[in-house]
Amino acid sequence: MTIHAGDRLPEVTLKRIRDGIQTLDTHALFEGRKVVLFAVPGAFTPTCSARHLPGFVARFEEFRRRGIEVYCMAVNDPFVMKAWATEQNVPEGLLMLSDGNAEFTRALGLQMDASASGMGIRSRRFALYVEDGIVREAWVEEPGKFEVSSADHVLEHLPT
């Protein structure tokens, strides 16, 4: 089942690199915070690298001024996410999260099979606005599209 506005995020662990591999519990990551979580099908892929992540990097301070944290997630290993963050000049504070086994992606019901492209199970492209672990808004892209999960669209449609 796909996650919807009003649903609580499932509890799973994600990874990131920070002085070694760090394991992060989703409840601890989102509890007591306002967060935009956006997911991409893959680090270093064309749209993800040219438009999706760069949009959030460019607009990062606008989210912060609104008191909103920004997290990026992909079904890639944490080393790939760290390398991509370095290559994309991701600012300190924009978390680059690895869902290497697609556990969180599956728990959200937002997986897609990209086996035809040699990529296996990946995340659909989406953005969620989450307050204290509860999804308030969900923007899920249709396959092959990049419209509603962009930083610009999310900023325009955040609750005030």
Q: In this structure, what CATH number is given to the domain that contains residue 51?
A: 3.40.30.10
| Range from 100-109, 110-119, 133-142 carrying the lowest mean pLDDT | 110-119
Residue 158: its pLDDT value, please?
A: 95
Residue 5 lies in a domain: no
pLDDT over threshold 80, residue 1: no
User: What mean pLDDT is predicted for residues 86-105?
Assistant: 97
In a domain, 3, yes or no: no
Prediction pTM value: 0.96
User: Residue 8: inside a domain, yes or no?
Assistant: no
**Could you report the per-residue pLDDT of 6-46, keeping only the tens digit for each?**
999 999 999 999 889 999 999 999 999 999 999 999 999 99
Distance CA 116, CA 68 (A): 36
Number of domains in the chain: 1
Q: What average pLDDT is seen over the chain? A: 96
At residue 10, the pLDDT reads 97
Short-list 107, 31, 99, CA closest to 69: 31
In a domain, 88, yes or no: yes
Q: What is the extent of the structural domain holding 122?
A: 13-157
Q: Is residue 6 part of a domain?
A: no
* Domain assignment of residue 7, yes or no: no
Identified catalytic residue from 35, 48, 97, 130: 48
> Is residue 149 one of the residues assigned to a domain?
yes
72 annotated active-site: no
> What is 35-80 written as a DSSP string?
EEEEEES-TT-HHIIIIIHHHHHHHHHHHHHTT-EEEEEESS-HHH
On the question of pLDDT at 160 being above 80, the answer is no
Confidence of residue 117 (pLDDT cuts 50, 70, 90): confident
Q: Give domain status of residue 4, yes or no.
A: no
Other C-beta atoms lying within 10 Å of the C-beta of residue 17: 17
Residue-wise pLDDT for 121-146, tens only, equals 999 999 999 999 999 999 999 988 99
